[in-house]
Structure 1
Amino acid sequence: MNTAQIQTALKTKGYDPGEIDGIRGRRTIAAIKAFQAANGLLVDGIVGPETLAKLFPAGAPAAKSPVIPVAHGWMGEAVRLIGVTEDISDADNPLIIGWARDLDIDYNDDGIPWCGLFVAHCIGSQLTEEPLPNYPLSARAWRSFGTECSPQLSAVMVFWRGSPSGALGHVGFYVGEDRDAYHILGGNQSNAVTVTRLAKGRLLESRWPATALEPEGIIRKLRPDGRFSENEQ
């Protein structure tokens, strides 16, 4: 199951998600909520099993690439943004600055660490009722986000940087793991949105959005390709 299939089903039933582009944007979320309200479902914008059953009464079609569960909309947004880079000149990437503007966060220079902003955008744009940390630009502030969970697919992973007892940190999303490292999809990793390996010993917290469906505990075992990241913020 993927977002484009959901958008098509919504449009067929009279709920306009906008362009059928496979992106879970605001119009798609609004269409999901309208469909849920009309069908006596919990209006949360999350396409869980009950919403899927109503949306596809004859059975949901199989996804071509079921890598990210459809209920993990924040992770889908993170994957979509892989490759986004900050502007290393005196200018700024307007996309990154726009994430802060949409969330009413005081941020106007992508030379300032933006790993927390990236996570805030992915969560805030997809889980519109989810409380964000008071200062989401701080990686360690995400230690109080949502609820504690074990490291698993789509979890918010908070790491120390510099010193375990210091103030610096890094935050991103779990993609998988090998024996020694977590593979993290995050922003400001070598000045871009990438997947990189962070040593397991640096993990401080693993957190799950409070308004999402219960975590499934999906663990992805990956090959230990690549060196440990030493350039993330």
Structure 2
Amino acid sequence: MTTDTREPIRDLQRALERLGHSPGPVDGLWGPRTARALKSLLAANGRAAILSTPEPLPWIAEAKTALGRHELRDRSWLMAWLKRDGRSLGDPAKNPWCGDFVETCIRVALPDEPLLGALGSNPYWARNWLLFGQEVSPIPGAVLVFARGSGGHVGFAMGQDGTHFHVLGGNQSDAVTVARSRSPDPRRALARDRPTRIETLPQMKPGGFLTSTNEA
């Protein structure tokens, strides 16, 4: 049995090439060119050109490629990773980069997803992600926006326990981690998502992850 997790996407990329919809390099990585090629194929065959995301969710798959990277130890690597969508806030060791992390994941995995208004002009400000998609009950992969005084924190929902969300995000204790996080007030974090999925957020045990330090 193969353990190469990229092979299913390589198979898709090879098929797209054979059908005349170039996905770019056949590298097993889900990126903007592969997404556009699949959308083009669906449209050419008379189907609505709405891209159904493969499993795992492509923006979560992108996020996990940076899991464990630290803003000091992996500074150069992170700076290059955060620029893959064509822009970046800058040095993660000097800037609050949780919004930059979320934008990179969304832009690379969902190149046609609209980021409107203030979110489009400044996706680095965590609270601007309140403009993303639509409000939903927390589901796996949804964008979670937390209040942090006058600032905020943003990441992706992975699960929850009795008191905290389990969040995959950047700038969590200065690194890309899955960590327990909650708002400092009684309100739950606001979840935002694309209006295409109906799921429930899994329950997780509190002891599995450290509670994060989220920088505004």
TM class by shorter chain equals: 0.7 to 0.9
Quote how far apart the aligned CAs of 1:150 are: 0.7
Counterpart of 2:69 in structure 1 is 84
User: Contact 1:114/1:188 (CA < 8 Å) preserved in 2?
Assistant: yes
Instruction: Indicate the residue corresponding to 1:73 in structure 2.
Output: 58
1:175 correspondence with 2:158: yes
SS at 2:206's partner residue? coil
TM-score, normalising length: structure 2: 0.79
Distance 1:129 1:104, change over 3 A: same
Matches within 5 A, 1:1-233: 3-44=9-50, 46-47=51-52, 69-70=55-56, 72-87=57-72, 92-93=75-76, 95-96=78-79, 99-100=82-83, 102-105=85-88, 107-110=89-92, 111-132=94-115, 133=119, 134-161=121-148, 166-199=149-182, 201=186, 203-209=188-194, 214-225=196-207, 226-233=209-216
Say if 2:142 and 2:191, in contact at 8 Å, map to a contact too: yes
- Cα separation, 1, equivalents of 2:28 and 2:52: 14
- Per-residue CA deviations over 1:121-154 (Å, capped at 9, x if unaligned) read 1111122222321321111111122111111101
Contact 2:84 2:108 in 1 (8 A): no
CA distance in 1, matches of 2:71, 2:84: 16
Paired positions, count: 202
Query: 2: CA distance between counterparts of 1:82 and 1:202?
Result: 28
**For residues 157 and 11 of structure 2, what CA distance do their matches in structure 1 show?**
25
% identical aligned pairs: 39
Is 2:182–2:189's contact at 8 Å kept on the other side of the alignment?
Answer: no
1:11 shift after superposition = 4.0
Letter in 2 for 1:229: S
State the Cα RMSD in Å: 2.8
Q: Which runs of 5+ in 2 are unaligned?
A: none
- Give 1:8 deviation, angstroms: 4.4
Is this contact kept in 2: 1:176–1:222, CA < 8 A?
Answer: yes
Amino acid at match of 1:180: T
Shift of 1:95: 4.0
Superposition TM-score, scaled by structure 1 size:
0.74
Q: Tell me if structure 1 keeps the 8 A contact 2:35–2:110.
A: no
